[in-house]
A = this chain, B = another copy of it.
Amino acid sequence: MTDFTYYAPTEVVFGKNSEEKIGKLVRKYGGTKVLVHYGGQSAVRSGLLDKVCAQLEAEGIAYVKLGGVVPNPRVSLVRKGIELCRKEGVDFLLAVGGGSVIDSMKAISIGVPYEGDVWDFYTRKAFNTECLPTSCVLTIPAAGSEMSNGSVITNDEGNIKKDYCIDEFRCKFAIMNPERTFTLPAYQTACGVTDMMMHTMERYFSHEDDMEITSAISEAVLRTAKQQAFVALSNPEDYEARTQLMWTGSLAHNDLTGCGTSGDWATHMIEHELSGMFDVSHGAGLAAVWGSWARYVYKLRPTRFARYAVNVMDVPVDFRDPEATALAGIEATERFFHAIGMPVSIPELIGRPATEEEMQKMAQMCTDGDTHTVGVFKELTSADVLEIYRAANR
């Protein structure tokens, strides 16, 4: 294992009616004028937005609202949010929604005190840690952004998707009420399950630097997500299953599952180009390419894939052949993705095969014109990435 730092300071307030604590929490963490940031109409229709605002009013805290965040959140709206915060003297941010809304909020939080354009952080032209304090009311378990240090934003000009990660992005508090996820459509529930599993798997398939307690916890996270997905899909209002998925999504991405390991993250990089180019759901994009990535790399360390197959996917051990066990685990994962309604190829994802030109463009963008590799388990060049897109295109 490698040395590590673990820092997950977010105060999680979990359960029914947890929203009722919002006012006091904003006060506790020093907010006096809040930007309430949200997505589409579902937060309005469900009454959640009104409830949040009523809590702020009850505590005598002023606020302004900014909605309209879309999946793969756009830098154009972030810029609007920054202007609004400056004009209104906002000193505290509250996201009401899922990963896209939270990521958009984080981008606003660092843009407000910065003189240049906020996109500079995402292109590594600028590096700052000064930002407004952030918080959230989570409604979609998936991205794990409620406890993570990351923000992923899409630039409308050119559909480029980039991330920026600093500890200062971590929310002061996160309100999580599983009831808020009862109305999530099946497809979005499945995308969320895939995303949280992939956050764990990206860390699980690492170099030779396994850490046993981290591996064991990761397997617990993966098994739980897998089991509870079927329960939540067959009964969307099963509070217990929604609870497991909601908390599992946070644990999958608050760094707990990465303590002491190098991680990989190639699948995420390969997927970002897909959702950047085709505006598909991140979770579905991950499911569409993971199997192709896994088959491309598993021979580097078949025992790790075999352990995953047995401990997560309930594949029987083939004692004479770890490679066969590994492959059976990859196949079982794809069967699982299909069973929850996820694609396991690009044609299943976008409704047609990608063209060779599209795949070449994505492979180039993924590696910034072949200037760097992606992934750690195997360091992939743009040629490797192209092979993986091709394999996923069948």
Q: Which residues of A contact B (CB under 8 A)?
A: 1-9, 11-18, 211-213, 216-217, 219-221, 223-224, 227-228, 240, 243-244, 247-248, 251, 256, 259-260
Contact = CB atoms under 8 A, between A and B. Distances in A.
B12 A7 contact: yes
Contacts of A17: 3
Given A212-B227, A213-B248, 19 more contacts: A1-B243, A3-B16, A4-B12, A4-B14, A5-B13, A8-B8, A9-B9, A9-B11, A211-B243, A211-B244, A212-B240, A213-B221, A213-B224, A216-B220, A216-B224, A217-B217, A243-B260, A247-B260, A256-B256
A3 B6 CA distance: 25
Given A211-B243, A213-B244, A221-B213, A3 B9 contact: no
Nearest to A241: B212
Most chain B beta carbons < 10 A, residue from A8, A9, A219, A248: A8
A246 to B, nearest CB: 10
B14 A259 contact: yes
Nearest to A21: B5
Contacts of A1: 240, 243
Contacts of A256: 256
A248 B244 CA distance: 22
B213 A247 contact: yes
Nearest to A11: B7
Nearest to A216: B220
A11 B223 CA distance: 28
